[in-house]
Structure 1
């Protein structure tokens, strides 16, 4: 959704008066509410992977009175093109995939060698079919007002220090994207000694790794994992100075908040989904086996000294150097 904002900005740059509504999963509405290009967010009533043909037809018919001129379908699935088709939207753009040419009347062929990044593929769909590629990529920019910052600080009874470091130690994808907890803890100890506050971000699934980091820092980190909504996490992150993160959704949020980021990459490819921020610094060993895009290390079993060495080989000292640079 953060990368999709580059598409929204592109559309507004070409047609400043265009009205953009976004049909998206309910969890992402907090992000859309912080994107000034979006006029209205519509919650998708179906969960990921759910077919729901009748529900898709019904929603398409409900959208007909909106009289949309164009639909841009970002997912490549057949079912994702059904709602714009049944909404009778006259121009329906998307990439060819899953035999859906009959549902799209502006079907584009995706050249993965030319459009190597996900965000490039999104932005290209907002341009004419004959536009030169790869396109220029506008930087995503989430807008957080001072009222939201104050409200979230009041709720969690915060007294922010002069310097705040956010650590995002989780990654829903799997262990091959998670830098070791003890490495995050070492970063935290060093910065605490220098007077920084350390805030831990993540979902409830990251409670254990956050607890380990906090245990190794004598409980001196503020742990927000599992305690916030996505909206609150975004507003809290707008208050920090620097972010150290795995390749995760929160990394992209931090980039859109224009934070200094040190992004740690293991099994994934920083050329495919990089943080879209000029301040971001990516650290990766670029091993011969990477990127493998596996959820767990395919070469060595858990517990082996070389398991996820693409991550364990990235030492805290290098990350600290980038924080201080």
Structure 2
């Protein structure tokens, strides 16, 4: 029988290693790639997880892929009955390039001539919205006078509302609109959204989500240029006029930048424009006295399988205060309140901050320790010293961008499994606090926090 991690099911008694078999963690070849000698699970390795597939053994933290795929030949001409490549004339002069059916071949880069109205589609999640910010910066650099809109869910809108690089935030009520099959009101609201997208008269739409609903919304805009990845899921690619090839194993930021480069934006410099709210900063200063060194602990994550146990976070509080003089602050959404109650932090702001206020808190942080979650990527975008705790997900795809030295994880036969359900969660339960504290020391020293790194 196959288990939730894609391997043979384990007995309940095997969820933790027997006493005396868990060796002390040691550092692997790359900084931050913490590994531990753990007994082999009673399951075969995942397909493609051996040394032949990943250099250095199963689960080793790979560096973020930065190189683009090599050049390949153009696809053959469309045959009888196949869709023909779109011509510049057919796109009203907005884009030149190739399109047509989904193909493994790289397509010619389209060139966009001064679009007046641009729509970015990236509704969620929080970390993915952060990873899309470099595309916004690239578009604004390329076309400073264009009207740029962003379609986003209300949960993530706080990161974009009032942003100086954006002209409009379009709210997408994903949960409510998902009930269109049984709610006439939801159907009418979706029709209103589709109508407003058409009335937006967008010249260029870039779908950064790559799902059926986002591709359908791009098509509903009736924009002449609709660009997305050829690897988009759920047949979203059928709604695009142009498809851009990108390796699915590239980091999310690099995949997004492929789309920006495809429409002619410069991508040599990667920027994460996070605007600061004075009111939000004032609120944080009212809760935590300014000038006080703080370490922000973020025990939450959308998936239960991505959460390092709260008891492990609790083990960090005393060493961080005693060795580095840091006062610990727990933070996150309302769902983290129960986790924060288990952590004896000096300040507890879990469930007590809006998204702009959370950004202000992370901007003040001298250190951030977090699971693979949206706030982690906000801290990385702000350039804060951080430690990223990874378990079932792949640092190659979603580590803090160009900060792979901040990642701490165990080398497990079943990790990464990308599973939201797991009977044992060994990849995080076996990860000890001392492994995280070792990376803390390096991060503080690397970021010039000499007094804190002692």
Same fold by TM-score greater than 0.5: yes
TM-score (norm 1): 0.83
Offset of 1:3 from its aligned partner? 0.4
Pick from 198, 205, 208 the counterpart of residue 338 of structure 2. 208
Offset of 1:265 from its aligned partner? 0.6
Tell me if the contact between 1:34 and 1:144 (Cα under 8 Å) persists in the aligned partners: no
Q: Which runs of 5+ in 2 are unaligned?
A: 1-128, 181-186, 443-454
Matching of residues 131-210 of structure 1 within 5 Å: 138-154=270-286, 156=287, 158-174=288-304, 176-194=305-323, 195-210=325-340
Q: Which whole-Å deviations, capped at 9, do the CAs of 1:59-98 have from their partners, x for residues lacking one?
A: 2322344332100112222222233323322211123443
Offset of 1:290 from its aligned partner? 0.9
User: Which residue matches 2:217?
Assistant: 83
1:124 lines up with 2:258 in the alignment: yes
Structure whose alpha-carbon radius of gyration is higher: 2
User: Which residue matches 1:224?
Assistant: 349
* Aligned structure 1 segments of 4 or more residues deviating by more than 6 angstroms: 129-132
> In structure 2, do the counterparts of structure 1 residues 61 and 20 end up closer, same or farther at CA, with 3 Å as the change threshold?
same
User: Which residue matches 1:282?
Assistant: 407
Tell me if the contact between 1:163 and 1:197 (Cα under 8 Å) persists in the aligned partners: yes
SS of corresponding position for 1:238: helix
SS of corresponding position for 1:272: helix
User: Which residue matches 2:226?
Assistant: 92
Offset of 1:198 from its aligned partner? 0.8
Tell me if the contact between 2:294 and 2:326 (Cα under 8 Å) persists in the aligned partners: yes
> In structure 2, do the counterparts of structure 1 residues 74 and 48 end up closer, same or farther at CA, with 3 Å as the change threshold?
farther
Matching of residues 1-325 of structure 1 within 5 Å: 1-33=129-161, 35-47=163-175, 50=178, 52=180, 54-96=188-230, 97-100=233-236, 103-112=239-248, 116-128=250-262, 138-154=270-286, 156=287, 158-174=288-304, 176-194=305-323, 195-214=325-344, 220-276=345-401, 278=403, 281-297=406-422, 301=423, 307-325=424-442
CA distance in 2, matches of 1:144, 1:29: 14
TM-score (norm 2): 0.61
Tell me if the contact between 1:25 and 1:47 (Cα under 8 Å) persists in the aligned partners: no
SS of corresponding position for 1:271: helix
CA distance in 2, matches of 1:129, 1:270: 28
SS of corresponding position for 2:413: coil
Structure of higher RCO (CA pairs closer than 8 Å, 6+ residues apart): 2
SS of corresponding position for 1:213: coil
More off after superposition, 101-110 vs 203-212: 101-110
Tell me if the contact between 2:161 and 2:169 (Cα under 8 Å) persists in the aligned partners: yes
More off after superposition, 70-79 vs 248-257: 70-79
User: Which residue matches 2:60?
Assistant: none
CA RMSD in angstroms comes to 2.8
Q: Which whole-Å deviations, capped at 9, do the CAs of 1:259-292 have from their partners, x for residues lacking one?
A: 1110011111111111125496111123222101
Tell me if the contact between 2:387 and 2:408 (Cα under 8 Å) persists in the aligned partners: yes
> In structure 2, do the counterparts of structure 1 residues 181 and 246 end up closer, same or farther at CA, with 3 Å as the change threshold?
same
Between the two proteins, the alignment pairs up a number of residues equal to 305
CA distance in 2, matches of 1:288, 1:131: 41
Q: Which whole-Å deviations, capped at 9, do the CAs of 1:25-76 have from their partners, x for residues lacking one?
A: 0121111136543222111133287164654443232234433210011222
> In structure 2, do the counterparts of structure 1 residues 126 and 56 end up closer, same or farther at CA, with 3 Å as the change threshold?
farther
